[in-house]
Amino acid sequence: MSEKRTRIGSFEFSSRLFLGTGKYSSYPVMTAALEASGCEVVTVAVRRDVLAPEGGTKPDNILDHLDLNRYTILPNTAGCFSAKDAVRSAKLSRELLEGLDHPGAKWVKLEVLADKKTLLPDPIGTLEATKALVDAGFEVLAYTGDDPIVAKHLKDAGAVSVMPLGSPIGSGQGILNPNNILLCLEYLKEDDPDYPVIVDAGVGTASDVSIAMELGADGVLLNTGIAGAADAVTMASAMNHAIQAGRLAYLSGRIPRKRYATASSPMENVIAPA
Amino acid sequence: MRIILNGQPRTAEEPTSVADLLSQLELEPVRVAVEINEDIVPRKRFGETPIRDGDRIEIVTFVGGG
């Protein structure tokens, strides 16, 4: 079966797995995990730069460890708890990436969070920031809950992709409400089947990725599920297989669930008829 | 003069530009974005943009994140 590349705004990719770059035990482990995952897009956050301590040396910058010709950087506004801070963060990212002459300057993964305990997105702040960033010329990928109505509002506000969560960030709980993800897909793709929907957050292991893809998601973004695994590089490889398995299963058209058994072997001419 | 750099009070020599400040801090201009009083300073104007007493300056870069 031939597989289309996935389009998000003005970008186009073969891999449907999008990776975060936080919480790896070291930069070499991160680099090896990115490689094993087959991803083409990596997300990074913006923070105050760390100044070198008196007489000491400055720690490595993540840009020393990312091949900007190979990976498309997707800057995020993680850690922002208001629309104003998210817009400010996005503009700083754009400035950084324009300076590096990198295509990632055009887009942003918008996160406006509501609460430090759950890190759940604030739908009202997210909608407000989406409008502001679209007006400022950004291609916005909006991280949101799994509420299909909010998802539709974000698309209507101009987001190039909506990214519903599977479960809270870093929780490893997988896809808690597959029915809502299905409704998000239905509402967002109604009359617009190629509109990209990426499940973002909550992945614990490979099957979670496959489930998201089997539901019909266009991609999955994850970080902790790989970075936090005991063997991050092998888990990245598992996620690479899972995204492909889930996508192919979705395209293949699964059988319906039935209450009773359906024999795979002929029931005729058995040696001891029932 | 006194400035607030990344939320911390700091003394800077004067007169100074954004480019001079980055050089004093041993930061590579291509790895940072700079705001003065919440307005972004475009990289090509680092050399000509002065820093004034009381400015609140943010110098940011990319870090790993999800």
pLDDT score for A59: 83
pLDDT score for A182: 97
In a domain, A98, yes or no: yes
Query: How far apart are alpha carbons A51 and B22 in whole angstroms?
Result: 10
pLDDT score for A56: 77
The number of folded domains in chain A is 1
In a domain, A169, yes or no: yes
Task: Tell me the nearest-neighbour CA distance from B8 into chain A, angstroms.
Answer: 11
What does the pLDDT average to over A263-267? 90
pTM: 0.92
pLDDT, tens digit (0-9, with 9 covering 90-100), for A156-207: 999 999 999 999 999 999 999 999 999 999 999 999 999 999 999 999 999 9
Own/partner contacts of A93-101, CB < 8 Å, gap of 24 or more, are A93/A46, A93/B33, A93/B62, A94/A138, A95/B33, A95/B40, A95/B42, A95/B43, A96/A46, A96/B31, A96/B32, A96/B33, A96/B60, A96/B61, A96/B62, A97/A73, A98/B43, A99/B29, A99/B30, A99/B33, A99/B43, A100/A63, A100/A68, A100/B30
CATH code assigned at A210: 3.20.20.70
Pairing of strands B33-36, B56-64: antiparallel
Query: How far apart are alpha carbons A240 and A59 in whole angstroms?
Result: 30
Check if the interface score ipTM surpasses 0.95.
no
Contact at CB, B65 and A45, closer than 8 angstroms: yes
Average pLDDT, chain A: 95
Catalytic residue among A109, A116, A117, A131: A109
In the predicted structure, residue A1 carries a pLDDT above the cut 60: no
In a domain, A7, yes or no: no
pLDDT score for A32: 98
Percent of chain A having pLDDT more than 90?
Answer: 90
What does the pLDDT average to over A255-269? 92
Task: Tell me the nearest-neighbour CA distance from A73 into chain B, angstroms.
Answer: 10
Nearest of A198, A248, A227 to residue A6 by alpha carbon: A198
Contact at CB, A45 and B6, closer than 8 angstroms: no
Task: Tell me the nearest-neighbour CA distance from A195 into chain B, angstroms.
Answer: 22
Whether chain B has a CB inside 8 Å of the CB on A39: the answer is: no
In the predicted structure, residue A55 carries a pLDDT above the cut 80: no
In a domain, A6, yes or no: no
- Alpha-carbon torsion angle A60, A61, A64, A69, nearest 10: 170
Query: How far apart are alpha carbons A20 and A34 in whole angstroms?
Result: 9
pLDDT, tens digit (0-9, with 9 covering 90-100), for B5-45: 999 999 888 778 999 999 988 899 999 999 999 999 999 99
What does the pLDDT average to over A41-64? 87
pLDDT, tens digit (0-9, with 9 covering 90-100), for A97-107: 999 999 999 99
In a domain, A190, yes or no: yes
In the predicted structure, residue A2 carries a pLDDT above the cut 70: no
Range of the domain at A53: 12-252
Question: pLDDT-derived band of residue A4, with 50, 70 and 90 as boundaries?
Answer: confident
In the predicted structure, residue A148 carries a pLDDT above the cut 80: yes
Q: What residue has token string 């891999």?
A: A15
Percentages helix, strand, coil for chain A (3-state, rounded to 5) are 40, 15, 45
Q: Which of A58, A63, A88 sits opposite B62 (nearest CB)?
A: A63
pLDDT, tens digit (0-9, with 9 covering 90-100), for A154-168: 999 999 999 999 999
In a domain, A157, yes or no: yes
In a domain, A40, yes or no: yes
* Residue A109 annotated to the active site: yes
In a domain, A4, yes or no: no
